[in-house]
Amino acid sequence: MSDERIVYWVRHGEVHNPGRVRYGRLPGYALSTAGRAQIEATAHWLAAQRPAPTAVVASPLERATESATIITTQLAIEPPTVDPRIIEALSRFDGLRYRADLWGHARRWFDRRSSDESAAEIAARTLDATLAPTRIAPALVLVSHQLPIQYLRAYIERGLAPPRPWSKRRRCSTASVTVIAVRDGRAELRAYLEPSSNA
């Protein structure tokens, strides 16, 4: 039988964002105090898994690399590496404030010069990162963002059907873990957990 490996997709911890900005791929958004506590709880849970993760890979955005560093410290392994394939989804609404800038949202919605990354594009790059042949660790952690994880899960569960409305997407809370098993070049969803909610 072929070997199976486990990929723990972790969403970064809560972000310090008092202005309620849709930060997306914008730089400068780090973890809040609560977000660091969330990731510490998730890191503690990861350290108890068998086989324990031996490598951590992060999105290049600050909140993800910060979360990944907390995890590698808890696991006492090498610092995280970065993979641009697991970066946040590209959105035309980055930089706008939720609800407070409705006119800005409306203008960008009808601006043909700007567009969002499609669900298919997001799922393709995250699946590629999951199945990458260079991922030789029996268990590893990929630290990413809400939409990349949600669309990867949607693809694995049912193929890439049209994206569901926001309210009907699968849960992906901050510091949550989506467990995926990889065998024979195929990915299978094993579990979704929120270790920080029990801390």
Of 171-175, 188-192, 194-198, give the lowest mean pLDDT range: 194-198
pTM: 0.87
The pLDDT value given to residue 165? 44
Q: If you write DSSP's letter for every residue of the chain in order, what string do you get?
A: ----EEEEEEEPPPB--TT-B--TT-S---B-HHHHHHHHHHHHHHHTSSSPP-EEEE-SSHHHHHHHHHHHHHHT-PPPEE-GGGSPPP-TTTTPBTTTTHHHHHHHHT-TT--PPPHHHHHHHHHHHHH-TT--SSEEEEEE-HHHHHHHHHHHHHSSPPPPPGGGSPP--TT-EEEEEEETTEEEEEEEE-GGGG-
The CATH T-level fold of domain 5-88+118-198 is Rossmann fold (3.40.50)
Name the residue ranges covered by the structural domains of the chain.
5-88+118-198
pLDDT band of residue 189 (cuts 50, 70, 90) is very high
